[in-house]
Structure 1
Amino acid sequence: MPLQADGDVPGLIVKFGDYPLHHGGVGAIRSLGRLGVPMYAITEDRYTPAAASRYLERAFVWPTSGTEEPEHLVEGLLRIGRRIGRPAVLVPTDEEAAVLIAEHQEALGDSFLFPRVEPELPRRLASKQGLHELCVEHGVPSPSAAFPQSYDDIVAFAEKARFPVVAKNREAFVRRARPAVNGTTRIATREGLLALARDWVGRPGDPGVILQEYLPREEAEDWIVHAYFDRDATPLAMFTGVKVRSWPPHAGMTANAYVVDNPELADLAARFVKQIGFTGIVDLDLRFDRRDGQYKLLDFNPRMGAQFRLFESESRVDVVRAMHLDLTGRAVPEGEQRAGHRYLVENIDLPALLAYRRSGYTTPHAPARASGTELAWLAGDDLRPFFTMLARFVRPGAKHLYQLWRANRRGGTTTK
């Protein structure tokens, strides 16, 4: 039986910040649009890949930085809601949007449909420190971590730490003019840490970092969980997979991944989400540490992940479709995930492949052969986003990839 969605309830892609080449937003527009759901999106301008999709009814051009006052962003959303003219399902593509929606549910509730969650929970989950504290509270493995409050704390940490260590921005989801580190940064020595830390002094939220145990990639496996949980924190769609390549290498956005059944990992994710009472779409990154046999939770994104289209059930359900079906009062059909299916992001997988081959790293936990491939940009029924991506990517994109490669050579890499 074909999957049927409520075509009277539109969807709105909500994004704050300047990142026009976002394949996840295009994937959500296509996913719901193919079911006959009218789709709208907030875009940086009229010439983004999302704005070019044949499945988009209208792009609302609203350049934002993600640093605006919440009241301004809420009023902007309400203004868009009035222009749509009927309640729409909100699909946030970044933490800023997910946190804003959760913390302003009362103001947005009459104009939009979205999972109702404890207002403070998405902010806590998106925070590196908040997530670590929740993991400790509920017995979920995560890398050991320290949260220095001053330069003296960092000096004391350096005296007893086992290097290398990893430094991340404590509130990574909050866009800043001068972040403490440029994403996930591997620090090899005590001297290197102290040299970096001198630049962290004197900034708002000083020093604003989390210092974390380094899990060596030679002894680890990168896993992904995507799921949708209903109002009772029960999973209506649950998927697991492995990350084969990312860009920048080993610590960035997924460039290539496979669907791999992992009941143990699915059970861990379901139990944790039930314990914290989260409702909605989740995108989890975990690293399996072969040294102690534990899956360690690295990131909990309280929204759809850019690579969500890797996962679809035999019933044609993905996490975005599951959310729309559930919020419009329709049953979410059960079905097994498409094991062995592959996802590939065309504009970043080639440089990632070259970097991984140069490092000699392989992914032994990935399938030897794909049962099928989903491309992030190219789709036969919706070609314009692919060519729009190429037009915007070629020159500035190549320069950006080179800058990220140089940062990775120095030991710093940028997360998704």
Structure 2
Amino acid sequence: MTVDWIKEMTDLVGEEKLLLGDERLEKLSKDYYWYSPVLEPLLRDKRADGIVVPESEEQVAQVLAFAYRHQVPVTTRGAGTGNYGQAVPLEGGIVLDLSKLDQVLEVTEGHVRVQAGVRLGALEKMLREQGQELRIYPSTFMKATVGGFVCGGSGGIGSITWGNLWDGNVLEIVVLTLEETPRRLVVSGSDLLAYIHNYGTNGIVTELTVPVTTKTEWRQTVAQFDDFESAHRFAHAVALDDSIRKRLVSPIEWPIPSFFKPILKHLEPGNSVCLLETEEGTGEALAAHAAEAGGRIGYVISPDQYRRTIGLSDFTWNHTTLWALKTDPSLTYLQSGFHPVDFPGQIAKIKARFGDEVLMHLEFIRSGGTVVPAGLPVVRYQSHERLYEIIDFFLSIGVSINDPHTWKLEMGGRGQLEAMLAAKRSNDPRSLLNPGKLQAPAPEVARGDK
């Protein structure tokens, strides 16, 4: 980054909004890519030339116009809780930190409109005080932003009822393009498919409208089982039982629960578990399902302690992997999709082939209205080659993989790739938005423009 570049950007946004110190550049150029032993050595040395922290949509547009003029790459950052290097700048340039766009703009019965930097934890707290709550959110919700979740995530707590982001959980967004004069696009309906889980590769999302639902008093329950087969059989029955209102159904194979140090005293050693959030009053139904599967109800957190103590969701989704990594840094994980009916056979084949090299962790969700087990298994990492042998075996038995060990959307992401590519060609003619994450060939006019 040249002195002239620094000076012009400083004049544009002010010294307090342009961060240049080595420590800040290092910290704000990173996310949680170190979950992956494949990504960690590839991304550890990547960092921005400068961090810009705008405080308004107008300032975002000014920065994007500047980047277009100077052909400077721009990588968007929310809270940096993504796991695939979404917020890591592969080619330097600007990291655009949207954390100061943190205004709740509108709250109605049924939806909220917020700026991209609003933290999900703060939004959930505000909504619950008003008798509503978020439909879905990631396990990192206390830090994660709404924009970061929509552009870098997929589903989470609540997905057992409400599905993933693509299942009507985003209503409208505002997108800024990276052009000589950035356009402000208001996107809704099927056009949203180009921007959900896009890593900021084809536009900068500054504002979002998402649906919310009526507040529920949530009971948190640990169900205990002698083996994982019983645990996932129970979880499936609960997931399919529409009489039980639920936010979380997460069966986890032992010894993964032994990594959950804050609640370990409440767990039965050697037993697999299913972690649940269900509506108050569903205890008897859960107990009946547990007995049917040969298990029993263990630790229970009453609704009056919800959010007042560490919650069971803090041990689910990718927080499960985090607790595993805290115990053994050689562990890693996969993201997989199992058959909605035949998953027990798929799991049996995986366990027969790999044993404790692959430890099972499922999250039951609704995807397109169908209850399916999404797998986040913990893997004992040996080598890159062995990891992809495991992935190939999963694929060979019909288990889909969203590879968490790549930053490329084509290989590890979700969403409508062709729609994303079309939006990138239209909105980012110089291919400056988070380059390297979406492999879009630049149109002829853009190549000449460069």
Shorter-chain TM-score range: under 0.3
Q: TM-score, normalised by structure 2?
A: 0.26
